[in-house]
Amino acid sequence: MIDLKLLRADPELFRAAYELRQAEVDIDGLVDLDGRHRTLLGQVENLRAEANRANKAIAEATGQQRAEAIAAAKEKSQGLQDVESQLRAIREELDSILLGVPNLVHPDSPPGLGEEANRIVREPAEIRKFDFEPKDHLTLGESLDIIDVERAGRVSGSRFAFLKRDGALLELALQRFAIEHLTPARFIPVIPPVLVKREAMVGTGFFPTDETQVYRIESDDLYLAGTSEVPIASMHAGETLKFEDLPLRYLAISSCFRREAGTYGKDTRGIIRLHQFEKIEMFSFCHPERSQEEHAALVAFEEEIFTALEIPYRVVEICAGDLAAPNYRKYDIEAWLPGSERWLEVTSCSNDIDFQARRLGVRTKSGSGTELVHTLNGTAIACGRAIVALLENHQRSDGSIDIPDALKPFTGFDVIKT
């Protein structure tokens, strides 16, 4: 949620940000509504003081004066109730509008909309040259009998998959590798619940904008989280974190669920865009003055992982028009897929500044007082996509797959073969 105090002080900052986002936000109407709310709030405070004085006068009055005092207090009470009703109505309207207003945007974010507007920050020095025609991940996975989407389709429908044999072990190895790599950097491993309340979806900024992407369990009014960012961010809702604990870093290991509404025909082959997938997510509660530095650190951790896996990648800054509502700035890592001859997003890393913390009420206290923290998130390993990139980049001419050295201690085997 945006800072209304900052909006009042500098509406042009927000106007420029939403122009970058290509988002339609009625800044003038929002400022006017906020002004009306503050006016009514002042009136309520004054009327409450008058009502208190009127009630006090009853106790001090006698005879006819008491009857008059009671009538006056009743009139003040009714007037207070009328204005409080107006205040509640305008507060509800203001809150409803604010829930749909996206975050500010870093001024250096690339303008525009669509992949062509993204900014390439770093590219690989080289990409492996094959002396044979490389295959895509599904062709490799099916020939090795480690990926089965046909049977998964019969069991669950489209966009599901069975990982089998060494494919299942490979996913577990990737998770363990990421955990071992990141825990020395003060990341606390955690397995969060995958079912969350609506308040958690709203508090992290995924609702109302992305509600169509989320599976709902109607009988219990719970939602399947599309990313562990949701339960981890909400874990400290309403809390004041110790300043000396920041950055407070978590490493969440969880299944994720996405409806993928609106992506018909996109990445339907194989295990790239599934309704259910495993992911290890980095999440950080950070002091506001350090969030840009923390953002760079999370991206660096992602790069370390893909460098160790010997997968060529590039770092891309996402354009303002493609930022999700909570995002202030975002970087993706895209891996090269030689069998598909394309770049594939394998991680994303976002700084959401105080947008989520304001909704969730997560603060810290230091010598300068109490203030909202900043929240950041970044993919350590999205297992399915990492497997896609690994299979295509480490394939041999006979269809077997080399395991990169960094992963061998976690797989227990050096190669995947029939």
CATH of the domain at 184: 3.30.930.10
Asked if 249 is an active-site residue, the reply is no
Whether 381 and 289 map to the same domain: the answer is yes
pLDDT range class, residue 9, cuts 50, 70, 90: very high
* Positions of E strands within 112-205: 119-122, 147-148, 162-163, 187-190, 195-196
Residues whose CB is less than 8 angstroms from the CB of residue 132 and which lie 6 or more positions away in sequence, other chains included = 397
> 97 or 66, which is more confident?
97
Residue 394 — very low, low, confident or very high, per pLDDT cuts 50/70/90?
A: very high
* CB 336 within 8 Å of CB 312: yes
For residues 209 and 277, membership in a common domain is answered with yes
Residue 108 placed within a domain: no
End-to-end CA distance of the chain: 53
Whole-number pLDDT of residue 367:
79
Please indicate, yes or no, whether residues 283 and 369 belong to a single structural domain of this protein: yes
- Whether 273 is catalytic: yes
pLDDT digits (tens, 9 = 90+) for 180-236: 999 999 999 999 999 999 999 999 999 998 999 999 999 999 999 999 999 999 999
Residue 258 known to be catalytic: yes
Q: 400 and 140 in contact (C-beta within 8 Å)?
A: no
pLDDT at 49: 86
Who's near 59: CB < 8 A, 6+ residues apart?
none
Is 416 within 8 Å of 400 (Cβ atoms)? yes
Closest CA to 97 of 32, 22, 154: 32
In a domain, 110, yes or no: no
CB 118 within 8 A of CB 330: no
- Among the listed residues 48, 273, 290, 314, the single catalytic one is 273
Cβ atoms of 134 and 153 within 8 Å: the answer is: no
Q: HSE-up of 174 (CA within 13 Å, CB side)? A: 29
Whether residue 71 is found in the same domain as residue 167: no
User: Is residue 78 situated within a structural domain?
Assistant: yes
Give the model's pLDDT for residue 76: 82
Q: Where are the beta strands (DSSP E) in 203-328?
A: 215-217, 222-224, 240-242, 248-257, 276-286, 313-317
Q: Which helix (H) or strand (E) segment is 375 a member of?
A: strand 374-382
Q: Both 292 and 203 in a single domain?
A: yes
Looking at the structure, tell me whether residues 240 and 326 fall in a common domain: yes
Residue 104 counted as domain residue? no
User: What integer best gives the mean pLDDT of the chain?
Assistant: 94
The pairing of beta strand 363-366 with beta strand 240-242: parallel
Of the residues 21, 329, 359, 385, only one is catalytic, namely 385
Q: Give the pLDDT confidence of 264-310 residue by residue, as tens digits.
A: 777 788 999 999 999 999 999 999 999 999 999 999 999 999 999 99
Residues 241 and 163 in one domain: yes
* Tens of pLDDT, residues 134-172: 999 999 999 999 999 999 999 999 999 999 999 999 999
348 a catalytic residue: yes
Residue recorded with tokens 């970058």: 20
For residue 76, is it within any domain? Answer: yes
Query: E strands of 177-228, at which residues?
Result: 187-190, 195-196, 215-217, 222-224
Q: What is the pLDDT of residue 6?
A: 96
| Residue 125 dihedral angles phi and psi, to the nearest 5° | -65, -35
Q: Do 155 and 68 fall within a single domain? A: no
Q: Active-site residue among 258, 329, 359, 363?
A: 258
| Residue from 348, 350, 359, 392 carrying the catalytic annotation | 348
Q: How many CA atoms lie within 13 A of 81 on its CB side?
A: 6
The verdict on residue 350 lying in a domain is yes
pTM of the model: 0.93
pLDDT of residue 80: 87
Query: Do 168 and 32 belong to one domain?
Result: no
Q: Would you state the pLDDT for residue 54?
A: 74
Residue 107 within any structural domain of the chain: no
Do 201 and 304 lie in one domain? The reply is yes
Active site residue: 123, 304, 345, 371, which one? 345
The reply to whether 106 falls in a domain is: no
CATH of the domain at 70: 1.10.287.40
- Residue 48 is predicted with a pLDDT of 85
Same domain membership, residue 147 and residue 36: no
The answer to whether 8 is a known catalytic residue is no
The reply to whether 119 and 62 lie within a common domain is no
Residue 57 belongs to domain spanning: 4-99
* % of the chain residues with pLDDT over 70: 99
Separation between Cα atoms, residue 130 and residue 150, nearest integer Å = 29
The residue from 31, 66, 99 where one domain ends is 99
Q: Could you say which DSSP state residue 366 is in? A: E
Choose the final residue of a domain: 99, 129, 163.
Answer: 99
Given a cut of 80, whether residue 62 has pLDDT beyond it is: no
Domain boundary at 99, 133, 168, which? Answer: 99
Q: Into how many domains does the chain fold?
A: 2
